[in-house]
Chain A
Amino acid sequence: MTGWSRFVSEILLAALALVIGLSLGGWLAYAAGESPWRVIEIIVTGAFGSGYDRGMVIYFAGILIATGLAVALPFQVGVFNIGGEGQTLMGALAAGVIGAYAPESWPHWAAVSAAFVGAVLTAGLWGSIAGGIRAFRGGHEVIGSIMLNFIAAGITGWLVVGKLQAPDSQNPEMKVIGEVFKLHRFGAYNGAPATTAALVALIMAFLFWLVLEKTPAGLRIKTVRQSPDAAVVAGYDPAKVRFWAFTSGAAMCGLAGAVMVLGESWRFRLEISDGFGFLGIPVALLGRGRPLGVVVSAILFAVLHHGASSLDIESTKVGRDLAQVIEAVVVLSVISLPPMVRGLRKWL
Chain B
Amino acid sequence: MPSTLLNSINPLIEFRNVSKQFGSLFANKDMSFRVREGAVHAIIGENGAGKTTAMRMLFGFEEPSFGDILFKGEIKPWHSPRGALSHRVGMVHQHFMLSPVHSALDNVLLGREFLLRSKSKGSGIKLFGSVLSRIQREKIHAELEALCQKMGFLIPWHESVENLPVGIQQQLEIIKLLHAGVDLMIFDEPTAVLAPIETQKFIQMLKTLNQEGKTILIITHKLQEVKDVADEFTVLRKGRVVATKKCADVSIQEMADLMIGRHVSLNPMPRVACTPGQAVVEIENLSITRAGKKNKLTNISMTVARNQIVGIAGVEGSGQNELLKLICMPKSSKPPGYRLTGKLSLFGKPGLKFSATKVRRKSIGIVPSDRLREAVLADESILENDLLGHDHEFTKGLFFPFKWIDRGAARERITGELRDFDVRPENPDHILGQLSGGNQQKFVMARELSRHPELIVCAQPTRGVDVGSIEQIHAEILKRRENGAGILLISSQLEELMALADVIHVMFEGRMVASFERSEFDEARIGVAMGGGGA
Contacts and interface: CB of A to CB of B under 8 A. Distances in A.
Interface of A: 1-2, 207, 210-211, 214-219, 222-223, 226-227, 229-230, 232-237
Contact of B328 (A226, A227, A233): A233
18 contacts: A210-B404, A215-B404, A216-B403, A216-B404, A217-B403, A219-B387, A222-B380, A222-B384, A227-B373, A229-B370, A229-B374, A230-B374, A230-B375, A230-B377, A232-B329, A233-B366, A234-B388, A235-B329
Contacts of A233: 328-329, 356, 366, 368, 374-375, 389
Given A211-B401, A233-B328, A226 B380 contact: yes
B384 A219 contact: yes
A143 B355 CA distance: 30
Interface of B: 328-329, 332, 355-361, 366, 368, 370, 373-380, 384, 387-389, 391-392, 395, 400-401, 403-405, 429, 431
A54 to B, nearest CB: 32
Given A230-B377, A237-B356, A237-B357, 10 more contacts: A2-B431, A210-B401, A215-B403, A219-B391, A223-B388, A232-B329, A233-B329, A233-B356, A235-B329, A235-B355
A217 B384 contact: no
Contacts of B332: 232
Contact of A237 (B328, B355, B375, B384): B355
A239 to B, nearest CB: 9
A234 B384 contact: no
B377 A226 contact: yes
A338 to B, nearest CB: 14
A216 to B, nearest CB: 5
A230 B376 contact: yes
Most buried by B among A210, A211, A226, A234: A234
B357 A223 contact: no
A237 B378 CA distance: 20
A222 B379 CA distance: 11
A-B complex: 9 closest residue pairs judged by Cβ atoms: A235-B360, A234-B389, A235-B357, A235-B356, A214-B404, A226-B377, A234-B388, A229-B374, A233-B374
Q: Is the interface of A mostly helix, strand, loop or mixed?
A: helix
A207 to B, nearest CB: 7
A146 to B, nearest CB: 27
Contacts of A2: 431
B391 A216 contact: yes
B95 to A, nearest CB: 16
B62 to A, nearest CB: 11
A127 B225 CA distance: 58
B9 to A, nearest CB: 37
Nearest to B328: A233
Contact of B373 (A211, A215, A219, A230): A230
Contacts of A214: 404-405
A234 B358 CA distance: 11
A9 to B, nearest CB: 14
Contact of B359 (A211, A215, A235): A235
Contacts of B370: 229
B377 A222 contact: yes
B402 to A, nearest CB: 9
Most buried by A among B358, B387, B389, B400: B389
A234 B360 contact: yes
A209 to B, nearest CB: 12
A252 to B, nearest CB: 14
B24 to A, nearest CB: 11
Contacts of B429: 1
Contacts of B375: 230, 233
B65 to A, nearest CB: 9
B373 A229 contact: yes
Contacts of A219: 384, 387-388, 391, 405
Contact of B356 (A1, A215, A222, A232): A232
B337 to A, nearest CB: 14
A1 B429 CA distance: 9
B333 to A, nearest CB: 11
A215 B400 contact: yes
Most buried by B among A207, A216, A233: A233
A236 B377 contact: no
Contact of A227 (B355, B374, B431): B374
Contacts of A235: 329, 355-361, 389
Contacts of B374: 227, 229-230, 232-233
Contacts of A218: 405
A1 to B, nearest CB: 7
Contacts of B380: 222, 226
A226 B376 CA distance: 9
Contacts of B431: 2
Contacts of B389: 233-235
Most buried by A among B360, B391, B403: B391
A214 B379 CA distance: 18
Given A233-B366, A233-B368, A217 B401 contact: yes
A84 to B, nearest CB: 22
Contacts of A211: 401
B379 to A, nearest CB: 6
B405 A216 contact: yes
